[in-house]
Amino acid sequence: MILFLLFTPNRLVSGAQESYKDPRFIRTEQAYRGTITIYHIVRHRPYQGSLSNWLQKRADEYEKKHRGSFIRIEGMDEATFYERLEHGRRADAYSFFSGSLYPDLLREIAQTEIPMRDGLFATNRAIPYCYSGYAKLVRSDTSNSSKRYYVNDVLAAYLDGGADEADEGHADILYLDLRRAGDLIRYKDGFASSSIEAIDRFTDAVCWIGIDRDADDQKAEVIRSFTEWLLASEQQQKLNALGLLSVRADLRDTPPDSLLKPVFKCYETIETIDPFLWHAAYDALKEDAAAARRGDPDAKQRFEKRFGELKR
């Protein structure tokens, strides 16, 4: 064996070395080696487990191609997140829906060149990577005296809805986020033959990713690279199974249920709100929305004025 190595022609050795440079077998060496934690923060609980799991799967795939960096996703609701924040427990980056974070928590992030759908935009501190919307779900046997349910006060006030006339399980007409609407169609008795329609093109259910202000440059580089990984066509196409839509203008969504097709089509172009303006105004909007649903006309006027100022 030793004699073979000594007398093997250089061209064969170099050729063997070159064969290992095939890009299919090369993993990128990351500048940062270690674990990066991303908090996934939700307002609507259906997205806490499912989207957290989706993100972790994408992170696991990313790790296989980028040696040395390990990404851990931790899902939580807003209350848990702010409790952690009070105790100084911050992450390296955050996945969050519009309105959940304030911009001072984040450092600036380099912009993406991915073509975004009409109505979507990146900010200098966060980049969107998926979104959802809202739909009206109607039972096929609904009577003229049907009872209504709204997923939250803000949506109800936006649609001029009054107080809930039934809980979700007993309502005939429901205004829900797309994920919940899809679940009811697939699994709940009485909704198998229901009709579903888009409300309009507005949504606040846009999910962003941003980097903690104290993350160092090496960590920020990995997080920014992971963000581009999430925006790649291969990853974006995997969102539809969750009832979520891609942010890419060059992709077409395939809804998980055929009944969702018209709603997905409607949301190919959206109206939305800057995520940080939404955060600053959300508490006041919720207060006014709740009061408007109780019949307070002044609160209704305040809500409409504030909401109109926020919409892009």
Separation of alpha carbons 34 and 13, rounded Å: 34
Separation of alpha carbons 171 and 157, rounded Å: 18
Confidence (pLDDT) at 57 = 96
Confidence (pLDDT) at 106 = 97
- Both tokens of residue 135? 């739909």
Contact 136, 175 (CB under 8 A): yes
Confidence (pLDDT) at 214 = 97
**CATH 3.40.190.10 placement within the chain:** 32-131+205-257
Count of CB atoms situated within 10 Å of the CB of 45: 10
Confidence (pLDDT) at 229 = 96
Confidence (pLDDT) at 145 = 62
Those residues with Cβ within 8 angstroms of residue 251's Cβ, 6 or more apart along the chain or in another chain: 233, 236, 237
Separation of alpha carbons 126 and 227, rounded Å: 10
Confidence (pLDDT) at 3 = 47
For the chain, state the CA radius of gyration: 24
CATH topology of domain 134-203+273-310: D-Maltodextrin-Binding Protein; domain 2 (3.40.190)
β 66-77/28-42 pair status: parallel
Confidence (pLDDT) at 16 = 42
Separation of alpha carbons 229 and 91, rounded Å: 20
Q: Which pTM was predicted?
A: 0.83
- Both tokens of residue 36? 């990066």
**Helix (H), strand (E), coil (C) string for the chain:** CHHHHHHCCHHHHHHHHHHCCCHHHCCEEEEEEEEEEEEEEECCCHHHHHHHHHHHHHHHHHHHHEEEEEEEEEEEEHHHHHHHHHCCCCCCEEEEECCCCCHHHECCCCCCCCCECCCCCCCCCCEEEEECCEEEEECCCCCCCCCEEECCHHHHHHCCCCCCCCCCCCCCEEEEEHHHHHHHHHHCCCCCCCEEEECCCECCCEEEEEEECCCCHHHHHHHHHHHHHHHCHHHHCCCHHHCCECCECCCCCCCCCHHHHHHHHHCCCCECCCHHHHHHHHHHHHHHHHHHHCCCHHHHHHHHHHHHHHCC
Confidence (pLDDT) at 119 = 93
What is Dmax (Cα atoms) for the chain? 94
Q: What is the pLDDT along the chain (312 residues), one digit of tens a residue?
A: 444 444 445 544 444 443 333 433 344 555 678 899 999 999 765 445 789 999 999 999 999 988 888 999 999 999 999 999 999 999 999 999 998 999 999 999 988 999 999 999 999 999 999 999 999 888 766 666 678 899 888 888 888 887 888 888 888 888 988 888 877 777 665 565 567 888 888 898 999 999 999 999 999 999 999 999 999 999 999 999 888 999 999 999 998 888 888 899 999 999 988 888 888 888 888 899 889 888 899 999 999 888 888 875
Confidence (pLDDT) at 15 = 45
- The domain 32-131+205-257 is placed in CATH, from the list 3.40.190.10, 3.20.20.80, 1.10.357.10, 3.20.20.70, at 3.40.190.10
